[in-house]
Amino acid sequence: MPATLITVAPTGAEHAKADVPNLPVTLEELVSTARDCERVGASMIHVHIRGADAKPTLDQQRLRDTVAALREQTSLIVQLSSGGAVTDPEADRLAVLDALPDSASCTMGTVNFGDDVFMNRWEFIVELHKRMQERGIVPEYEIFDLGQLATLHRLLDQHGLPAGGHVHVDLVMGVPGGMPGDAETLVAALRLLPEGASFSATGIGRTSLPVMFAALAAGGHLRVGMEDTISYARGERVKDNAQLVARAAGLARIGQRPPMTPDEARELLGVNV
Ligand code: KMH
Ligand code: ZN
């Protein structure tokens, strides 16, 4: 069984700073969280940025500054979200790639997202995939529902392998409107993965732990962070992102699949190879 790639998703676009005061939203808070998470076992960071008002933004200069600061102050693989917030226009989401991160997320279809709709049209998916191929950015294919794995097969069949030559999928489970966050659904998803693909999984909210156990048992990798859950246990709020990464790293070690270093994760994903 391989070592475990742990991705931290520290911020997201959904939680308000006013409701979650320990959410990292400034560049300083983000870099400090990233360093703490690297220290306890993360090898990749999935980044959504916020503006001066702490609201989600896809501001180009801020994105570039964020990539530069994370590269300077950590060894983590820097993955920018091309998903943004549900209100972000396609053009702004495509322009995220101009900040030239190591990796970017690429969602494989439209999904109901709580009371909202997270729109990902086929033509938009193809454009994201092609621009990442052109720029040498390694995608992480985000899967919110099982049918999106059929879309991934269609994408690879029609438009070829991604930059780096390796397919890596992240199962985002337990979103209200998407696939449930449980072991049976995770196993069903694995049957639909492209051959040779690696996968990580994350469970939103209270599905975090069941998804983590199932992913580890199935040889998968882990994503954790305050984007996905702000509860550490019933009635107990998350202290910070490093607390979630440390728990994931501990469980991975118990499973004899210790956390990967960022260099090992680069090798797996085909980043900078
Ligand atoms: N914030 C969600 C609408 C991604 O980062 O690519 C989408 C999301 C997925 O978080
Ligand atoms: Zn995200």
Torsion of CA 251, 253, 255, 260, to 10 degrees: 100
Pick the atom of ligand 1 nearest to 105's CA. 6
- DSSP for 75-112, written as a single string: -SEEEE-SS--TT--HHHHHHGGGG--SEEEEE-S-EE
**Structure confidence by residue, pLDDT tens digits, 16-31:** 999 999 999 999 999 9
Ligand having the closest approach to the CA of 107: 1
Assign domain 6-269 to a CATH class: alpha beta
* pTM summary value: 0.98
ipTM value for the complex: 0.99
Residue ranges lining ligand 1, Cβ < 6 Å: 12-13, 81-83, 85-86, 105, 107, 113, 118, 142
**Structure confidence by residue, pLDDT tens digits, 28-51:** 999 999 999 999 999 999 999 999
Distance from residue 104's CA to the centre of ligand 2 (Å):
10
- Domain residue extents for the chain: 6-269
Q: How far apart are CA 258 and CA 265, in angstroms?
A: 12
